[in-house]
Structure 1
Amino acid sequence: MAEIGQAATDVYAPTKTLQVWRTLLNWLTFFFQIFLQIIRGTPSVASLINYSSSSSFMPLPVVEFPESSEPTALATASVHIPSVVADYDCLEKLTVVLDLDETLVCAYETSSLPETVRKQATEAGLAWFELECISSDKEIEGKPKVNYVTVFERPGLHEFLAQLSKFADLVLFTAGLEGYAKPLVDIIDAENRFSRRLYRPSTTSTEYREHVKDLSFVSTDFCRVVIVDNNPFSFLLQPANGIPCIPFSAGQPRDDQLLEVLLPLLKQLSEQRDVRQILYERFHMPEWFEKHGIPASAWATKG
């Protein structure tokens, strides 16, 4: 009997040892992933709670803005853009749709934001504020959960909105939840320059991406509407109306995109009867989408 017991021990001992090693290896892998996240930096609140839908997009190369406003034939047959030169005095205001996270601001969970990041941003003159926002999650008692967020404003934000509102109708369109975005926008837009605010429920799910911003919710005149977003997939339904801007983070205190890049471009677009030709010549978004697996059939009927 003792021999049988010893044999059983010999058979099962390696299995138990293997299980112990596998468990230990799993824990080591878990802690290593956490360590990598710390090294790579603190993620923004947009990426942590899915307020923004694409953190991996690399901005498109910027080419020189054409001096001539004379439209030329579009190089793709999927979009028809009439060749009409603008009579500026007869044009209505341009409608500019602005994204929020990583376009106008960047936000981080206060509890996970390293003090060094806040200090460096402050020393560089980057404006920031703290915010309480209501989460879609619930506390154990069933009460709404409150998130504490630190928000950094993109340099030139207030001047950008002030100047832009002089020649454009401003619309905020964010994939963020209203409990987070509304109190934030109340602070950065105290002058109520946005004529409309659209939140995640106004976005559309498509075969290719979720939280897509369909510009038909904003205007039926696609000749005079443009969207600025750091995530180009947000405007995949109207690619010829989109401006893919460089994402903003707290590590970019010297960023000059709003006043030096976007504002001059939007000003010149405001003088065009149809913005799509110039935007196509600058960014070639239809080809970019096709290169990323989104065919023309996904957007050709939407503007």
Structure 2
Amino acid sequence: MAELTRAEVYMPRSMQVWRALLNWLAFFLQIFAQIIRAVGQYPLLSSSSATTTETPTSTSTHRFKRLPVVDSTEIESPATVEIAAVLDSPVPAGDDSIEKLTVVLDLDETLVCAYETSSLPLTLRSQATDAGLKWFELECVSSDKEFDGKPKISYVTVFERPGLQEFLNGLSEFAELVLFTAGLEGYARPLVDRIDKENRFSLRLYRPSTICTEYREHVKDLSRLSKNLCRTVIVDNNPFSFLLQPLNGIPCIPFSAGQPHDTQLLDVLLPLLKNLSLQNDVRPFLYDKFRMPEWFQKQGIPASGWSV
């Protein structure tokens, strides 16, 4: 018995080396798994996918962050003259009061974020709930078919961006609201029914209303909504959605369930839109704040790729 014990203790050196290597490998694999979980491997339902439940697409690789104010003197912009012509153009004459502001709102990652219920970890939902984030489950009709030919039913968990209802209520007091999403109607319509029971949106537009350009799909052309772009803005977490009217766009920080204390709607967007409602022409103000035409040019989209 003592000999057996000594044989176990005094292993060949090669075996000790291999055991040490395996232990280190297991250690690094645990660290790597923790890093993956920390950054969040749970896919949001993107509004630019080809399925009803909106899985991520190539647009997610162009994640947009808050735009810095760029010094236009550092950029040789071929569109300078065109932009100046728009900003200096006279505002259409009207009555004593200016026309009501039209605010076009994106849905996914702007007002809400949505996940396939089957792939959503209970821990993420519990953490969001404990932090006060409102959520609900949604049953929507997919464009896919079951084996028997019946429409496939998808189940989605939707998280509301903090302050959503207060934001829509406050905004509806001074603006006309339009919902414009690249999501399919089978998914988006029942979702909007849940968050807008008061019918604050005067118009709802889905993926078929978007257009395809040389540079991006699912682009939202504001000229199809209003003839007066002086009083029209669009809020979207994906700036490529409004590349046809860069002077009317407000880039929004994307929202996910991991951001339960987000304050963008009430602290940033609502005051900004209230200010814009007092402007005769929103485009000079938004150009000075975001410099979107220059940003698009940095993304490789020349002035000919968007219209002003």
TM-score by length of 2: 0.78
Correspondence 1:101 to 2:122: no
Of 60, 72, 93, the residue aligned with 1:55 is 60
Q: In structure 2, what is the Cα distance between the partners aligned to 1:143 and 1:292?
A: 43
Partner SS for 2:82:
coil
* Deviation (angstroms), 1:81: 1.4
Query: Which position in structure 1 is the counterpart of 2:81?
Result: 77
Query: Which position in structure 1 is the counterpart of 2:276?
Result: 269
Unaligned stretches of 5+ in structure 2? Answer: 1-32, 70-78
Please tell me whether the aligned partners of residues 109 and 254 of structure 2 are also in contact (alpha carbons under 8 angstroms): yes
Q: In structure 2, what is the Cα distance between the partners aligned to 1:101 and 1:294?
A: 24
Partner SS for 1:46:
coil
Query: Which position in structure 2 is the counterpart of 1:130?
Result: 137
Query: Which position in structure 2 is the counterpart of 1:71?
Result: none
TM-score by length of 1: 0.79
Q: In structure 1, what is the Cα distance between the partners aligned to 2:140 and 2:35?
A: 25
- TM-aligned CA distance change 1:52 to 1:187, over 3 Å: farther
Q: In structure 1, what is the Cα distance between the partners aligned to 2:257 and 2:95?
A: 38
* Paired amino acid for 1:192: N
Q: In structure 1, what is the Cα distance between the partners aligned to 2:208 and 2:56?
A: 14
Partner SS for 1:133:
strand
Q: In structure 1, what is the Cα distance between the partners aligned to 2:237 and 2:158?
A: 17
Of 90, 98, 112, the residue aligned with 1:91 is 98
Partner SS for 1:45:
coil
Q: In structure 1, what is the Cα distance between the partners aligned to 2:244 and 2:80?
A: 16
* Paired amino acid for 1:158: Q
Aligned length, in residue pairs: 256
Query: Which position in structure 1 is the counterpart of 2:73?
Result: none
Partner SS for 1:251:
coil
Query: Which position in structure 1 is the counterpart of 2:44?
Result: 44
Correspondence 1:214 to 2:218: no
Q: In structure 2, what is the Cα distance between the partners aligned to 1:89 and 1:55?
A: 44
| Segments ≥4 residues shifted beyond 2 Å | 35-40, 45-56, 60-63, 82-89
State the Cα RMSD in Å. Answer: 2.3
* Deviation (angstroms), 1:46: 2.2
- Worse-matched range after superposition: 45-54 or 88-97: 45-54
Correspondence 1:188 to 2:195: yes
Please tell me whether the aligned partners of residues 227 and 242 of structure 1 are also in contact (alpha carbons under 8 angstroms): yes
* Deviation (angstroms), 1:61: 3.0
Please tell me whether the aligned partners of residues 64 and 238 of structure 2 are also in contact (alpha carbons under 8 angstroms): no
* Paired amino acid for 1:169: E
Q: In structure 2, what is the Cα distance between the partners aligned to 1:218 and 1:299?
A: 17
Please tell me whether the aligned partners of residues 43 and 55 of structure 2 are also in contact (alpha carbons under 8 angstroms): no
